[in-house]
Structure 1
Amino acid sequence: MTKPRGRGRPKGGTDSRSRILAAAIEEFGERGYEGATIRSIAARAGVDSALVHHYFGTKADLFADAADVPLRPDVVVPIILSGPRDEVGERIVRYVLESFERDDVRRRGVMLLRTAVGGKVGSPLIIGFLTRELLPRVARRLDVPDAELRAELVASQIAGMLMIRYVLGVKPIADAPIDELVARVGPTIQRYLFD
């Protein structure tokens, strides 16, 4: 016979919350939103499922916390677009790729990309970020006709490149040096923005 669980806060160490969050990023990254479960995340973190619920509530709440990619479009977009206009495409590609080379950004970014492709919850989060945070900032700064369409074309190109390089690992793109991808993809981004 199992002992009934007592009331109050579930037992967990001081680092339990950070272990749960790290486990969630890995689980969502490997399995997508639909495949990851609170139970699998708890097992990976070495805690009870009740502790996951205690710290984060529902799976959707945990995903929202895990998806907190440390990129600031409000800061970065003006900087990228303020340099020489004929280098904007290359600066965008370089910024995104160099950001994804950081482990914290890559793990969360891969999680978001996998979830956007495979789940109902991730897609609105990605679309919301793109349509509220990133694309309007780019479009407002372009001063060109059909700026929103142009910004969306940029997003589609960047998302495809990230998916191929970091999620699917398709070679030779996955192994290509950043400078080579900047030189090859940058002109396409430039054309989408200004031609």
Structure 2
Amino acid sequence: MATTDAGRRKPGRPAGNSNTRERILDSARELFARNGIGNTSIRSVASVAGVDSALVHHYFGTKEKLFAAAVHIPIDPMDVIGPLREVPVDEIGRTLPSMLLALWDSEMGAGFIAALRSILAGSEVNLFRSFIQDVITVEVGPRVDNPPGSGVVRIQFVASQLVGVVMARYILEFEPFASLPAQQIVDTIAPTLQRYLTGELPDLPAP
């Protein structure tokens, strides 16, 4: 029996319907908020959404891109964090805020700030916490884990400083801080960030 055109499906494109993408995103948000990014797999998101995991990959590619779409961040987080792998440890304290402020001050950054504002004002703050712990800490923490066991808290100190910059500059819009040149902010906070990453910190928790 001949196969009709209506019964054919283009090769390489998994089946889906108009609300499949949103169902996947809803499932991803639920699992990321509940379990964190590190403990959430593409397969588990697909299972909750009732679709094949190939369809999730088709729509979103990587788990990090799925997370970005779930929280409406207009950039793959690994586009920012990934390049840090090539940066010497003693330069991360300056490189990180230089990259982030350039992003946050850009047109694309406006979408990131809007997403962050929504997350902090809503019930999905666990998503933001998971991003810091499961993406940034996993990528950078092992490189600054000296003495052993200090990497996680070092990253959390850095996060506290950067979240403070976001709050003061973009959400609360303190003046004149909100209007300072980005380079002035980088020059001011970079030594502190580097100390958090590689300097001696008192009373660090035992590993």
TM-score range relative to shorter protein: 0.5 to 0.7
- Cα distance 1:81–1:181, how it changes in 2: closer, same or farther (>3 A)? farther
Structure 2 partner of 1:130: 132
Superposed CA deviations along residues 62-100 of structure 1, whole A, max 9, x for unmatched, are 985452340433x54353353344332111110110111
Q: Does 1:67 align with 2:67?
A: no
| Aligned twin of 2:110 | 106
Partner of 1:194: 198
TM-score normalised according to structure 1 size: 0.61
In 1, the alpha carbon distance for the partners of 2:117 and 2:186 equals 23
Could you say if the C-alpha distance between residues 172 and 139 of structure 1 is closer, same or farther in structure 2, counting changes exceeding 3 Å? Answer: same
Q: Which amino acid in the other structure matches residue 70 of structure 1?
A: I
Report the Cα distance in structure 2 between the residues aligned to 1:161 and 1:55, rounded to whole angstroms. Answer: 34
Letter in 2 for 1:192: Y
Structure with greater helix share of residues: 1
Distance 2:76 2:109 in 1: 8
Q: Which runs of 5+ in 1 are unaligned?
A: 1-51
Residues 61 and 177 of structure 1, relative CA distance in 2, 3 Å threshold: farther
Give 1:141 shift: 2.0
2:22 corresponds, among 56, 67, 71, to 56
* Alpha-carbon RMSD: 2.9
Tell me the SS of whatever aligns to 1:169: coil
Larger RCO: 1 or 2 (CA < 8 Å, sep 6+): 1
Shift of 1:144: 1.6
Corresponding residue pairs, total: 141
Amino acid at match of 1:72: P
Whether the 8 Å contact between 2:145 and 2:152 is mirrored in structure 1 is no
- Relative to the length of structure 2, the TM-score reads 0.58
Matched, 1:88 2:92: yes
Return 5+ residue gaps in structure 2 as ranges.
1-17, 30-68, 200-207
Q: Partners in 1 of 2:164 and 2:139 — Cα distance? A: 20
Look up the match of 1:147.
151
Counterpart contact for 2:71–2:115, Cα < 8 Å: no
Tell me how far 1:56 sits from its aligned partner. Answer: 3.1
